[in-house]
A and B are shown apart, each in its own frame.
Chain A
Amino acid sequence: MSNVYVVGAGQTAFGAFPDESYRSLFADAYREALDSVAGDLPPDAIDEAVVGTLGVGGRQLGLSAPAVTEHVGLHGVPASRVENACAAGGFAVRQGVQAIESGMADVVLAGGVEVMTDASADTTKYWLGVSGETEWERLTGTTFSGVYAQMARAYLDQYDATTEDLARVAVKNHANGAQNPKAHLDFACSLADATDAPPVADPLNLYHCCPTSDGAAVVLLAGGDVVGEYTDDRVRVAGVGAGSDRVGLADRDSYTSISASREAGQQAYEMAGIGSDDLDFAEVHDCFAIAELLAYEDLGFCDPGDANRLLREGLTDRDGDLPVNTSGGLKSKGHPIGATGTGQIVEAFDQLTGQAGSRQLDDPTCGLTHNVGGSGGGAVVHVLEREAGR
């Protein structure tokens, strides 16, 4: 199996951009990704393009991958769309890795784009509902926040955790997002702000939920045979893992663990030959605060029921033992569905190449990204490692 490297990564700011189209957003991310390559990567070197996206403003779009790649001049490149709800971007990267490992491509563009803020709140809720279990779960009148609220309710019932622990996720991620010029909600918040926010779906309040965002993120992958043509500062995709589970919560064995994450994490650690102790940082899927607590446990950062301790002791703060969501996470950085997973790779790439600005960690060499689809029907994990330069 050949090695696969991230040679470039870029993204737009995440936020609400009434003046931008899904194509112009993609073009901006693409341009930044090309610019980030240490050497020169001519567009005609790209053999394959995979684009993660759920839709555009509450509408589906056939051939959405060629629609964005032809827009940036990638004529003739095989381009396809990957959609696994909120894990679309992460699975696009995984598919890019597979294309290179299979020998069918040397250089792959894995991108993601979403425009979510040009639809009414009602339409957005309607549209996001397609990512849940539609015939039974959805027909209890629930939404994504509702399903995660049910997970949170079960978690708080089962373990010694409180809604204040949920609020701590928001405080930490906002503190990080305030250092990220690309973040959608780039302000810090206090524990009181995050505890006293208006209720959304009991026990979740507004600060326990991520925003809907517009944005795009593009990752450029290259195989070991060609990586030397583009960079000496090598960030290797050391591990890839993915899993799936029943789409509906009621059908699962546990409401307080996402088995798809566990499976994806185990695969990725095994492939990378590391354990969670070897990580210097992680970007985890925190669409709702409870999701970050579950991620700690499912990815082996701590035992089940122990996630609140990591938060309370600041272990996952930016200056803690294992910084989580230095980008601000979905909570602060934003969650443009298809771009979220690729955006996590952008953050990892920036951290590992020392380009993370004021939120830069001290010389990290190994990071993890974790991207969940829906309420856990699918998940994908990547482990990225910086190789010592030649």
Chain B
Amino acid sequence: MTDASDGGDENNEASEATEAKLGIAGVGAYAPRRYVTSEAVEEAWGQFAGSGVQQTSVPAGDEDTLTMAAEAARLALDAAEVDAERVARLAVGTTTPPTEEPGMPARLVSMLGLDAATTTRQVGGSATGGVSALSGSLDAEGADDAELADDDTGEEAVLVVASDDVRGDPDSAVDQAGGAGAAAVVLTPDGPGRVLGVAEHTESYPGTRFRRAGERESEELGITAYERQAYRETVAGAVESLGAAVGDDDADSWIAGVDAAAIGAPDGSLPYRASDALGVGSEAIRPGSVVHDLGDCGTATPLLGLARALDTGSESVLVVGYGAGSEATALMLEADESVPVTRRTAGTDEVSYAEYLRLRGEITPGEPAGGGAYVSVPSWRRTLPQRHRLVAGECPDCGALAFPPEGACRDCHELVEYESVRLARRGAVETATTIGQGGAPPEFVEQQARGGSYVSAVVAFGVADAEAGGGDADRSVSVPMQVVECDETPAVGTEVRTTIRRIYEQEGVIRYGLKAVPAEAERDE
């Protein structure tokens, strides 16, 4: 393990001579399983503008950057074997949050079960936000006054998440190269992945890529040479400064030893075009590159690349975030021990271009007018512990489980005050049906228009510790829940795990909650 303080030169141009006390303890990566190929786009448009991109990931109709962030964060926490309660700080990077306001952190805290006192921040406005959220979280300096100072445990952790779903006008390179995905990094004082240094660099290149206020889609002027120059100068500038930060001004000597370079870029060819300026060869760019398979995932691209590089055996990784405009953040990582990584990024379900447009909501009708069964936002909020974390109740009189934990006990019928118990994240389908096309109630018409038929089920969950201790089939409670990512109605007994998805949007407020994914649909990478 190398500590940057050993050789830091306080006078160089690096923005920080990082005294990183925190190391990477685990990485999670998530991308939607659906993808559209460049051939399908070319068939629709007569050409494909996503240079170096073979396919792009496409979120399901009920996925967005927040649900992907929650999934990646959960994977990272599990990989690092860090309990959510240990997280003292949360940083989120995204350029495409599901809502301009409010931010994502408060909802992530609830979905993941982090402590309400967790320090949070959201970094937006630039695709370098994922790497800068990470670089800004490395410093354990805040330990003196923040929650990290708790000497009793010495186990505090920091969670960094980057998630994006890049969109443009459908005939533009931005859209055709645009993908979706999220990556998360858990930092702990003893995390095996050590960051040797961090550096930033800016050059002002307006017009390379921008999104107008209030717009969902990004644009670029398409001045190719200008954009390439902006990219090369900015990224190379950050990497050059990084040399000073890692204590070696001779770029050739330190960068030559890099196993992999995970470099953010709006397409798949720019990192290679910049390789000369960076001093890294294409053999190092390839293991840290995800844009060929997932598309441009904005802030998440470099961290998804980091996950890939570590997962495929790289021990030293250069990570560079690039934001059009232009700014870059670079950091150098060394992983003497293997950093645990869990990736769920493989594309498994190819969709047609028409399905792609449907899934993205480009050609769907929205919610029809109507009235009736209405769940107010305050009453929704009251049940967030259940909807986000499956918090059930246990009857203090007879021990029966209750979900939601309210009302009289189902077994002994006493009107009791329940003890809180967490349910396991895995359960089994008790019964299910598929709501066919045209059969959805109005709140779910948009979901069905985007994603087609969906499964409504009842799933039985045991209590969380019972699962760890081998399971206790008698102590389970039934929860109505959608099952996603399955082609047909799941059979009774099908094993599932929970995941956060959008339930629906009403009055402009997105309601998020747990859905289930069949365990057999799990992806290995």
A interface residues, Cβ below 8 angstroms from B:
58-59, 120, 122-123, 125-130, 132-143, 145-146, 149-154, 157, 199-204, 246, 248-251, 253, 255
Contacting pair B458 A249 (CB below 8 A): yes
Q: Are B435 and A141 in contact (CB under 8 A)?
A: yes
Query: In the bound complex, what is the Cα–Cα distance between A250 and B431 (angstroms)?
Result: 9
A202/B489 in contact, CB under 8 A = yes
24 intermolecular pairs with C-beta atoms under 8 Å apart: A58-B371, A120-B368, A122-B370, A123-B372, A125-B440, A126-B372, A126-B373, A126-B441, A127-B370, A138-B373, A141-B441, A141-B448, A141-B456, A142-B480, A143-B435, A143-B440, A145-B439, A153-B433, A157-B431, A157-B492, A200-B439, A246-B410, A250-B478, A250-B479
Pick from B374, B435, B458, B481 the residue with the most CB of A within 10 Å.
Answer: B458
The smallest C-beta distance from B369 to any residue of chain A, in angstroms, reads 7
Complex partner residue of B439 from A120, A146, A253, CB under 8 angstroms: A146
Determine how close the nearest CB of chain B comes to the CB of A56; give it in whole angstroms: 13
A157 CB → nearest B CB, Å: 4
**B residues 66-98 with Cβ under 8 Å of A?**
none
A103 to chain B, nearest CB (A): 33
B26 within 8 A of A: no
Residue of B whose beta carbon sits closest to that of A248: B480
In the complex where A200-B439, A249-B458, A255-B458 touch, is A150 in contact with B431 (Cβ < 8 A)?
yes
Evaluate whether A251 and B478 lie within 8 angstroms (CB atoms) in the complex, with A123-B371, A135-B379, A140-B456 already known: yes
Distance to closest chain A CB from B482 (angstroms): 5
List B contacts of A151 (CB < 8 A): 431
Interface SS of chain B: mixed
Complex formed: what's the CA distance from A157 to B490 in Å?
12
Measured CB to CB, the closest approach of chain B to A106, in angstroms, equals 38
Residues on B with beta carbons closer than 8 Å to the beta carbon of A140: 456-457, 480-482
Question: How long is the Cα–Cα vector from A356 to B27 in the complex, in angstroms?
Answer: 74
Q: Are B436 and A127 in contact (CB under 8 A)?
A: no
B358-402 with Cβ < 8 A to chain A = 368-375, 379, 383
On chain A, the residues within 8 Å of B435 by CB distance are: 141-143, 146, 201
Residues on B lying within 8 angstroms of A by beta carbon are 368-375, 379, 383, 404, 410, 430-436, 439-445, 447-448, 454, 456-458, 478-482, 488-489, 491-492, 503-504, 511, 513
Q: Nearest residue in B to A60 (C-beta to C-beta)?
A: B371
Q: Cβ of A201 and Cβ of B439 under 8 Å apart?
A: yes
Tell me the nearest residue of chain B to A154, going by C-beta: B431
User: What is the minimal beta-carbon distance from B513 to any residue of chain A, in angstroms?
Assistant: 7
| B442 A126 Cβ-Cβ under 8 A | yes
Known contacts A153-B432, A202-B434, A251-B410; is A141 also within 8 Å of B454 by CB? Answer: yes
CB distance from A339 to the nearest CB of B (A): 20
Inter-chain contact A138/B479, CB cutoff 8 Å = no
- Give the docked Cα–Cα distance between A67 and B46 (Å): 64
Best-surrounded residue of A134, A141, A150, A157 (most CB of chain B within 10 A): A141
Q: Which residues of A contact B511 (CB under 8 A)?
A: 139
State which of A141, A149, A253 has its C-beta within 8 Å of the C-beta of B444. Answer: A141
Contacts of B430 in A (CB 8 A): 154, 250, 255
Query: In the complex, A24 Cα to B504 Cα: how many Å?
Result: 39
A58-B372, A140-B457 given. 15 additional CB < 8 A pairs? Answer: A123-B442, A127-B370, A127-B372, A137-B480, A138-B373, A139-B375, A139-B504, A139-B513, A140-B482, A141-B447, A142-B435, A150-B431, A150-B432, A153-B432, A249-B431
Question: What's the count of A-B pairs with C-beta under 8 Å?
Answer: 139
Most buried by B among A130, A138, A154, A157: A138
| Cα-based distance from A145 to B441 in the complex (angstroms) | 11
- In whole angstroms, how far apart are the Cα atoms of A217 and B459 in the complex? 40
A125-B442, A157-B431 known; A141+B478 contact, CB < 8 A: no
Residues in B neighbouring A135, C-beta threshold 8 A: 375, 379, 383
Query: Which residues on the A side are within 8 Å of B489 (C-beta)?
Result: 153, 202
Tell me whether B492 and A122 are in contact (CB under 8 A): no
Task: Check if A122 sits within 8 Å of B445, measured CB to CB.
Answer: yes
Bound-state CA distance A202–B454 (Å) is: 11
**B504 / chain A contacts, CB cutoff of 8 Å:** 139
Q: Which residues of the partner chain B approach A201 to less than 8 Å between Cβ atoms? A: 433-436, 439
Interface contact A122-B368, CB-CB below 8 Å: yes
Please give, as numbers and ranges, the residues of chain A lying within 8 Å of B503 by CB-CB distance: 139
Contact yes or no, B373 A142, CB < 8 A: no
The reply to whether A58 and B370 form a contact with Cβ atoms under 8 Å apart is yes
Whether the pair B444, A146 counts as a contact (CB closer than 8 A) is no
Residues of B within 8 A of A153 (CB): 431-433, 489, 492
* A142 and B447 contact, Cβ closer than 8 Å, known pairs A136-B480, A154-B492, A246-B410: no
Closest to B444 in A: A141
Asked if B373 and A132 sit within 8 Å, CB to CB, the answer is yes
How far is the CB of B442 from the nearest CB of chain A, in Å?
5
A123–B371 alpha-carbon span in the complex (Å): 7
The reply to whether B432 and A138 form a contact with Cβ atoms under 8 Å apart is no
Complex: A134 Cα to B503 Cα, angstroms: 13
Residues of B within 8 A of A120 (CB): 368, 370
Distance in Å from the Cβ of B251 to the closest Cβ of chain A? 56
Do residues B441 and A129 form an inter-chain contact, with CB atoms below 8 A? yes
Q: Which residues of A contact B480 (CB under 8 A)?
A: 133, 136-137, 139-140, 142, 248-250
CA distance A125 to B442 in the complex (A): 7
> In the complex, how many angstroms separate the beta carbon of B395 from the nearest chain A beta carbon?
14
> Of A123, A132, A140, A151, which is in contact with the most chain B CB atoms at under 10 Å from its CB?
A140
Closest to B410 in A: A251
B434, A130: Cβ atoms closer than 8 Å: no
Within the assembled complex, what's the spacing in Å between the Cα atoms of A16 and B488?
35
Min distance, Cβ B458 to any Cβ of chain A, angstroms: 5
Contacts of A58 in B (CB 8 A): 370-372
Q: Which residues of A contact B440 (CB under 8 A)?
A: 125, 141, 143
